Amino acid sequence: MSTLGTARILVADVQVPPSGAWFATVSLDSSTLPALGATVLTIGDLQLPGAIIRADWDDAPNGGRPIATVRGGAGWRLPMLDKAGKPIAGSYASASGVKLSTVLADLARLTGETVAPLAADLSLGVSFSWPAHAPLAPFHGEDVLADLVARGFLSTWRIAPFTGRTEWTAWPALGAADGRGRITDRARDRGRRTVGLDVAVAAFLPGATLEGVTIARTLIHASASELHAEVYET
Question: What is the band of 206 on the pLDDT scale with cuts at 50, 70, 90?
Answer: very high
Helices (H), ranges, 112-161 = 141-150
To which H or E segment does residue 58 belong?
none
Residues in CB range of 86: below 8 A, 6 or more apart: none
In the prediction, which pLDDT does 188 show? 82
Give the pLDDT score at 58: 87
Is the CB of residue 179 less than 8 Å from the CB of residue 187?
A: no
Question: Percentage of residues in the chain with pLDDT exceeding 90?
Answer: 91
Residues 16-26: tens digit of each pLDDT: 999 999 999 99
pLDDT digits (tens, 9 = 90+) for 7-52: 999 999 999 999 999 999 999 999 999 999 999 999 999 999 999 9
Percent of the chain scored above 70 by pLDDT? 98
**Integer CA distances (angstroms), 225 to 2, 64, 165, in order:** 12, 20, 32
Coil, strand or helix: which one is 114? Answer: coil
Q: How far apart are the first and last CA of the chain?
A: 29
> How far is 55 from 229, CA to CA, in rounded Å?
24
**Out of 81-90, 107-116, 156-165, 171-180, least confident range:** 81-90
61 has pLDDT over 70: no
Q: Are 164 and 114 in contact (CB under 8 A)?
A: yes
pLDDT above 90: residue 172: yes
Residue 161 reports pLDDT greater than 70: yes
> How many whole angstroms separate alpha carbon 43 and alpha carbon 48?
9
Does residue 174 surpass a pLDDT of 90?
A: yes
Rounded distance between C-alpha atoms, residue 76 and residue 73, angstroms: 6
